[in-house]
Amino acid sequence: MTNNTIISEMFNRIADILEIQGESGFKVNAYRRASRVIEELGEDIEQRWQAKTLHELPGIGDALVKKIDEFLSTGTMKKYDEMMASSAAPLVDLLSIQNLGPKTVALMHQKLGVTSIDDIIRVMDNGQLATLPGMGDKKLENIRKGIELFQAGQSRITIGKADKIIQHVLAEFQERMPLPDVTPAGSFRRMKATIGDLDLLVAAENGAEVIDVFVNLPDATEVLAAGDTKGSIRVDKGIQVDLRVVKKNEFGAALQYFTGSQAHNVKLRGIARKMGLKINEYGVFEGERAVAGADEAGVYQALGLPWIPPELREDRGEIETAQAGDLPDLIEQDNIRGDLHVHTTYSDGHHSIAEMAESARQRGYQYIAICDHSRSAIYANGLSIHRLQQQGNEIDDLNQRFSDFTVLKGCEVDILPDGELDFPNDILATLDIVVASIHSGFTQNVTQRILKAIENPFVDIIAHPTGRLYTKRDAYNIDLDVVFKKAAETGAALEINSHPMRLDLSDIHTRQAQAHGVAISINTDAHTSDGYDYVKYGIGTARRGWAEAHHVINTFTIDQLRAWQRSRPKGRTQ
């Protein structure tokens, strides 16, 4: 685990404990903000520490710099140790349960001695929990659902966390044994939103030596297996990583086989049998003779198929579509020309407008839309009308400096419980991009609220439409079919929010949206300049949803984007 991850998690844990203890939101949010900045930092924090530039990081004041310095100097942090020794520390994990806030957790602990999920289940079953203030039947039902969701998610991790683990393991491995053919496989390569075990594949002749290096990596907390061709270790809180060693002439077949999915591979085996062939992790065989195996494209070609992108390999019609020669030309990350949902220090972001713009420009983007939170999002320092206008003036000034880049005036406007938007239309009309989303009242007429927002001619995009947070919060009770139809009717786009905790719309919903003719926007919801990196997860989700570049509005040039807005059936020009 990197220092960035360790310090980020320590600050987040301190924030959790302070919240349970009833500390001020200002103090809690200071630690949370610092945690996110460090988590998304695109360099080793130790380099900042050695260069004495920690204070240049947004949200990292003198007090937090001292804590980071203390940890990197001594390996301990007094404040963290104090918090972990407090009576509230055992309760922190309970905050991961949907529908359980810090006040409820503190009350359960004080009145019923609850310190674990098992305790919650016990006091629910014996009726004690129902005796606490505010514990009606609906609240109890929601807590039980939250526990079920939490328990179901414990065996899997988000693709963002999986990515960090697998890249770190790969770097450690290749530092000790640089090999040209080392690649992730499994559900990670298929870009699934959540991952169980992680799989790596290596082409080498000296299998036992390769495995010995792998199982002795610094990150290995437990060795599960160490043979001549397969090694398994646990890293980072019990995550299992498997490495398989194959011969170079088998690498393509092994990559195809261990990428999966199982259902996709079963279908391929059926095709092979009908052709008088056999396919397995070693190759494609006609009798005893290998007819393919060295490269993955050759494996598919031997079965009369074009190469099928890993993200499609779920047995959702991709094989039949490949046989018909009609596979989609899937969107690539290089197709993205801008990000239409970005936050800054005006609300809860960590970099200025200029910093976010310059970072996007350096990535080759043509534009970004600054979409800070609206006034009702008090927890996120939401903008008043005056501050929104002040921000617009700053954007105007900034655009005077660019000849090859455009900063769009936008806002992430809350959809209120009655379906109204947080700003009136005369204010929305002054913006270039309006992103609307729900941040509260998750059980209150969600479908109707979103439909009403889509009807508003100034709303361009509905952000994170189902509201889910992987392993923490299930999706809203929402009728997406109705939403898709309304979005197609008005021309509003639906977002794939690329944050790995969201990936919302999901891959399946993305494909359904396209079937209705709905436009998609792949945004990062970036709160730091490094947050732009999340776009790869949104792209992966879009590819799993069979999306092509022309389906996604932020593959458009700035002129095409504006033309799209003007062409919308119920857009702002009507």
| Same domain, yes or no: 377 and 433 | yes
Using CA of residue 129, residue 135, residue 140, residue 146, what is the dihedral sign? negative
| Same domain, yes or no: 288 and 181 | no
**Domains identified in the chain, total number:** 4
| Same domain, yes or no: 364 and 403 | yes
| Same domain, yes or no: 107 and 149 | yes
| Same domain, yes or no: 193 and 280 | no
Domain final residue pick, 298, 323, 348: 323
| Same domain, yes or no: 522 and 418 | yes
| Same domain, yes or no: 426 and 493 | yes
| Same domain, yes or no: 411 and 378 | yes
| Same domain, yes or no: 430 and 534 | yes
- Which candidate, 406, 411, 407, 408, places its Cα nearest to that of 421? 411
- Each as own residue / partner, the long-range contacts of residues 263-267 (CB below 8 Å, 24 or more positions apart, any chain) are 263/314, 263/315, 264/308, 264/313, 264/314, 264/315, 264/318, 264/319, 266/315, 267/315, 267/319
- Pairing relationship of beta strands 520-523 and 493-497 according to DSSP bridges: parallel
Is there a domain that residue 328 lies in?
no
What is the Cβ-side half-sphere exposure of residue 97, based on CA atoms within 13 angstroms? Answer: 26
* Structure tokens that stand for 27 in this block: 């103090």
Domain final residue pick, 138, 153, 168: 153
Domain final residue pick, 305, 323, 341: 323
Alpha-carbon 472 to chain mean position: 13
Residue 477 is part of a domain; what is its CATH number?
Answer: 3.20.20.140
**Tens digit of each residue's pLDDT, the chain (574 residues):** 578 888 988 898 898 888 888 887 788 888 888 888 888 777 788 888 988 888 888 888 889 999 999 988 888 899 988 888 887 777 877 877 777 778 888 888 888 888 888 888 888 888 888 888 888 888 888 888 888 777 765 668 899 999 999 999 999 999 999 988 899 999 999 999 999 899 999 999 999 999 999 999 998 999 999 999 999 999 976 789 999 999 999 999 999 999 999 999 999 999 999 999 999 999 999 999 999 999 999 999 999 999 999 999 999 999 999 999 999 999 999 999 999 999 999 999 989 999 999 999 999 999 999 999 999 998 888 999 999 999 999 999 999 999 999 999 999 999 999 999 999 999 999 999 999 999 988 888 999 999 999 999 999 999 999 998 887 778 888 999 999 999 999 999 999 999 999 999 999 999 999 999 999 999 999 999 999 999 999 999 999 999 999 999 999 999 999 999 999 998 876 5
| Same domain, yes or no: 292 and 415 | no
Contacts of 144 (CB under 8 A, 6+ apart): 124
Residue 236 is part of a domain; what is its CATH number?
Answer: 3.30.460.10
Is there a domain that residue 573 lies in?
no
Domain interval for residue 449: 333-567
Q: Which amino acid is at 414?
A: D
Residue 121 is part of a domain; what is its CATH number?
Answer: 1.10.150.110
| Same domain, yes or no: 117 and 189 | no
Is there a domain that residue 572 lies in?
no
| Same domain, yes or no: 23 and 131 | yes
